[in-house]
A and B are shown apart, each in its own frame.
Chain A
Amino acid sequence: MTQLRPGANGPLPGPRVEVRVSAPCPVDVLALLVDDELRVRGDEDLVFWNAPEHGGVRWTAGTPARLTVDTAQVPERVHAVLVVLALPDGDLRSFGDLATAEVAVTAADGGADGAGVRIPLAGLGPERAVIGAELYRRAGAWKVRAVVQGHAEGLAALLGTHGVDVEPELDAAPAPTPAPAPVPAPQEHPSGQPQGQPGGQPQGQPSGQQPGASTVAYADRAWLVWEDASRSLSAYRSATDYALHVRDQDVSGRPTATGHEEIRRAADERLQADLRQLTAELAGSGDTAPAVMAPWSSPAWLTWRPGPRFEPGILAGHLTLPEAAGLRIPLVLRQPWSRACWVRRGPLPGDSIAFGWSLITRYLAAAPAGAVAVELLSPGGPAALSWVQGLPQPVVEGVLAGGVSTGPEQVTARIRRLLDLIDLRAIGAGADVEPRLGGRPIRLTVLVDPGSVPDESFDALLRIAEQGPGLGVPLVCIETDGLVEESLRGLRLRQAGQSLPSGEGSGLGDPWVGSEWEFTPELLPDAAALLQGTSAPALLRHVLAAQQATLP
């Protein structure tokens, strides 16, 4: 389909066309048959819910309603058919709030695939009623033009301009409308409103930005979009299952009210409309996300430096669905972590190591300088942490001063000390337990290969997983070779944390309806160096060094 920008025109895709409106909320659709001065001859020239057919134009109910225009039937005196869209009386928004509304004009008889025009209703402000498209005669042929202009006062005012006299008591209902209409306008301009149009994003504020309202909004919005998409998908699957059920009934000879094909088509349309809207909602909003919520490839990382306080979330990866090609939802882990984090083994050896350390790099980057001390536990032996040797001495003595414990004995002893720290913090002490850490309030504990933790430390580990995050001891478990036993204890340990798969395209269930999403972790480009045990990824070294500074 061809997209028309306001003012542009194109040939009508056929002599009989269908006009469909897609919008994120209910929108009234009407048609005006006008002369070359854009005026109606009489009020029969308005086609709408109370007068659904006239002069070759038919209005069909729906949400939103549909118009069919048979140009051969349009009276000679009619120069153009205007497609009018209006927000219902109860809805206090304006078209400026509906960034994704769109008018599509296609051939009613199918026509060639891809024929037709799309008119996005973009660039609008306080308008509550707009003319989306104009179907008009031109040198004996019919054309379509994108108009996208309207009235802030609403439908009655718009119709009035074209010569329709609307019943006054009707004005009683929209009476409040003229008053609030000017109000949305000023709200529109102090931008930064989440509903802003994708085109109007402020630019150049990625790095030095305070973790203010907009980045909080980004973290939350990612979750809202994920929930909406999961629920929309659930509705779609439920509808298609039902369509199958209906089809089986059809086959067995029992007539049904609605054919299964119609249900499938409607479900598909709804899903596609939802996904388009959600995709549009995400588009552009990522541009303003701070580095820790942006992909590694984002230019925001070029200017990253630690902020004055914790960022509200970090990007773990992206969620996709086979049914929704264009939709890529960021999975943002909100901060502070209330739960431990469990990085599952991936299909390839090293997947979990690469993802785990990518995640930890982000965690450190999201923290103010001097806030975090890192505690490294590798019960399986020193090999998994050999890259630590290559770090500069001040980092090892400062940020990593919590210690690098390798082997079962050291790890057991360390887990016991961490549990002491948690117990002391639980009763309000603990700030000065280990003064050599310079009062760093967060003790990020990284456990590589939890499957190798000695049995006798397992209960203590479980308590750290359950209570630690709330007391400034967040825990990241990176599952590697050793599997955590499939016992009740192992299960509890896994469930105490947010479980994240590693490796491309692993499944992750959404927390609302449990649909399976494909998860693609955000991996540091040079995370492979960790696997060879030679050196830490450059960015991890960089954020560790930045953490080296002390709290102001």
Chain B
Amino acid sequence: MAVNMTKGQRISLDKPGGQLTLVRMGLGWDAVKKRGLFGSREQEIDLDASVVLLAGDQLVDAVYFGKLTSDDGSVRHTGDNLTGAGDGDDESIIVDLTRVPVHVTSLIFTVSSFQGQDFNQIANAFCRLVDETNGTELARYELSGGGQHTGNVMAKLYRHQGGWKLNAIGEPTSGRTLRDLLPAVLSYA
């Protein structure tokens, strides 16, 4: 019995927009090669991935290299990478959306350059959001060549009809630490 529900369509169990449950922010970059007097040397670049938890416009918690787990345990940072050595994502923040506290309405992901080098000086820098349940990339930004900025307000995840939705922002801004970025972050709250 193959019944059609609406014209020409059968029942799809695919969820509209996908139900996000576990997402990961990945941040990757390479050390910059610099021509020095004694051959090429690598300049150390320290990019930091951070996420801010908001309830309405109120700051609830923040996860960054100085605080690797949110108090409620739903957000975990895999740890600071000071140089960008290695391929792929150099820093990751994993968010279990099913465990985010009930009053938190949005999460805003940011990138900042701790030593203050702007994105023009950083090679192969990108940040991305991945649906960890299936590996799908939800959003990706190339940061390199992004001009004389030291920070980026990358994306916002917010509650929507019992699920979570993604709003890609990608706004370049300036600031070496999460604190510097907060005004820009709160403007998206």
Q: Please list the residues of chain A having a beta carbon within 8 angstroms of any beta carbon in chain B.
A: 25-26, 42-44, 46, 48-51, 60-63, 65, 88-91, 155-156, 163-167, 170, 173, 227-228, 231-232, 234-236, 238-239, 242-243, 245-246, 256-258, 263, 266-267, 269-270, 512-513
8 Å CB contact of A242 from B1, B3, B12, B58: B58
Known: A65-B162, A234-B71. A245 touches B58 (CB 8 A): yes
Q: How far is the CA of A294 from the CA of B15 in the complex (A)?
A: 47
Neighbouring B residues of A42 by C-beta, 8 Å: 3, 5
Q: Which of B5, B99, B162, B163 contacts A51 (CB 8 A)?
A: B5
CB<8 Å pairs between A and B, sample of 8? A43-B5, A48-B13, A88-B19, A90-B21, A164-B3, A234-B72, A245-B58, A267-B103
The 9 closest A-B CB pairs, nearest first, are A61-B162, A90-B133, A235-B72, A231-B73, A235-B101, A266-B102, A239-B103, A234-B71, A167-B10
Q: Given contacts A43-B11, A49-B16, A267-B102, is CB(A163)–CB(B1) below 8 Å?
A: yes
Chain B residues 7-61 with CB under 8 Å of chain A are 10-16, 19, 21-22, 55-56, 58, 60-61
- For A165, the chain B residues whose CB sits under 8 A away are 1-3, 10-11
Q: Contact: A263 with B19, CB < 8 Å?
A: no
**Chain B contact residue count (CB 8 A cutoff):** 36
Contact B103 A170, beta carbon cutoff 8 Å: no
B161 at the interface (CB under 8 A from A): yes
**Measured between alpha carbons, how far is A51 from B14 in the docked complex, in Å?**
12
* A239 near B102: Cβ-Cβ < 8 Å: yes
Q: Is the CB of A43 within 8 A of B10?
A: yes
Given the contacts A88-B19, A238-B60, A245-B58, A25 and B98 also touching, CB distance less than 8 Å: yes
Report the Cα distance A268→B65, complex, angstroms: 31
Is B187 an interface residue, CB under 8 A from the partner?
A: no
A43-B3, A43-B10 known; 8 other A-B pairs, CB under 8 Å?
Answer: A26-B19, A42-B3, A43-B4, A61-B163, A167-B11, A170-B13, A236-B101, A238-B103
The answer to whether B72 and A231 touch across the interface, beta carbons within 8 angstroms, is yes
A61 and B72 form a contact (CB under 8 A) = no
Known pairs A51-B5, A165-B2; A170 contacts B73 (CB<8 A): no
Known: A26-B19, A42-B3, A90-B134. A267 touches B13 (CB 8 A): no
Write out the residue numbers on chain A whose beta carbons fall within 8 Å of the beta carbon of B74. Answer: 235
- Is B58's CB under 8 angstroms from A50's CB? no
Residues of A close to B4: CB separation below 8 A: 43
Closest to A249 in B: B56
Q: How far is the CA of A62 from the CA of B19 in the complex (A)?
A: 11
> Quick one: which of A49, A91, A232, A267 has the most chain B CB within 10 A?
A49
A267–B4 Cα distance when bound, in Å, is 41
C-alpha gap A191/B161 in the complex (Å): 40
Q: Name the contact of A63 in the complex, choosing from B10, B61, B98 (C-beta under 8 A).
A: B98
Taken together as a complex, chains A and B put the C-alpha atoms of A42 and B10 apart, in Å, by: 11
Specify which chain A residues have a CB less than 8 angstroms from the CB of B21 in the assembled complex: 26, 88, 90
Residues of B within 8 A of A239 (CB): 55, 101-103
Q: For the complex, give the distance between the alpha carbons of A235 and B133 in Å.
A: 24
Chain A residues with Cβ under 8 A from B3's Cβ?
42-43, 164-165
User: How far apart are the CA atoms of A60 and B71 in the complex, in Å?
Assistant: 30
Q: Separation in Å of the A482 CB from the closest CB of chain B?
A: 38
Q: Is the CB of A267 within 8 A of B101?
A: yes
Asked if B14 and A170 make an inter-chain contact with CB atoms under 8 angstroms apart, the answer reads yes
Most buried by A among B10, B11, B56, B162: B11
Chain B residues with Cβ below 8 Å from A155 are: 13
The residue among A49, A91, A165, A238 with the most chain B CB atoms within 10 A of its own CB is A238
Q: Are A256 and B98 in contact (CB under 8 A)?
A: no
Neighbouring A residues of B103 by C-beta, 8 Å: 238-239, 242-243, 258, 263, 266-267
**Is the pair A46, B19 in contact by a Cβ cutoff of 8 Å?**
no
* Residue numbers in B under 8 Å from A266 (CB-CB): 102-103
Residue of B nearest to A257 (CB): B56
- Contact (A513, B71) CB under 8 Å given A26-B19, A51-B5: yes
Pairwise interchain contact A238-B12, C-beta atoms closer than 8 A: no
B102 pairs with A166, CB closer than 8 A: no
Alpha-carbon separation in the docked complex, A548 to B3 (Å): 79
Chain B's closest residue to A228 (CB) is: B73
Contact A167 B13, beta carbon cutoff 8 Å: yes
Judge whether B72 and A232 touch: CB under 8 Å.
yes
Which chain A residue has the least Cβ–Cβ distance from B135?
Answer: A90
CA–CA, A409 to B10, complex, Å? 89
Decide yes or no: A170 and B12 within 8 Å by CB, A90-B134, A234-B71 being known contacts: yes
Closest residue to A167 on the B side, CB-wise?
B10
Residues in B neighbouring A232, C-beta threshold 8 A: 72-73
Alpha-carbon distance A234/B104, docked complex (angstroms): 13
Contact between A231 and B13 (Cβ–Cβ < 8 Å)?
Answer: no
How far, in Å, is B134 (CB) from chain A's closest CB? 6
Question: Inside 8 A of A256's CB, which chain B residues have their CB?
Answer: 56
Which residues on A sit within 8 Å (CB–CB) of B60? 238, 242
Chain A CB within 10 Å, residue with most, of B15, B69, B103: B103
Which residue of chain A is the closest to B10 with respect to CB atoms? Answer: A167
User: What chain A residues lie within 8 Å of B56 (beta carbons)?
Assistant: 242, 246, 256-257
**B residues in contact with A166, CB < 8 Å:** 10-11, 13
Q: Is the CB of A242 within 8 A of B55?
A: yes
Q: Give the complex CA separation of A173 and B5 in angstroms.
A: 21
CB pair A270–B13 under 8 Å, yes or no, is no
Interface string of B114-152 (1 = CB under 8 A from A): 000000000000000000011000000000000000000
Are A263 and B133 CB-contacts (below 8 A) given A63-B162, A170-B12, A170-B14? no
Cβ contact within 8 Å between A235 and B71: yes
Query: Contact: A62 with B162, CB < 8 Å?
Result: yes
Minimum distance in angstroms from A88 CB to a CB of chain B:
7
- In the bound complex, what is the Cα–Cα distance between A257 and B60 (angstroms)? 17
- A258 and B3 CA atoms in complex are apart in Å by 40
A245 to B103, CA, bound (A): 11
A49 touches B71 (CB 8 A): no
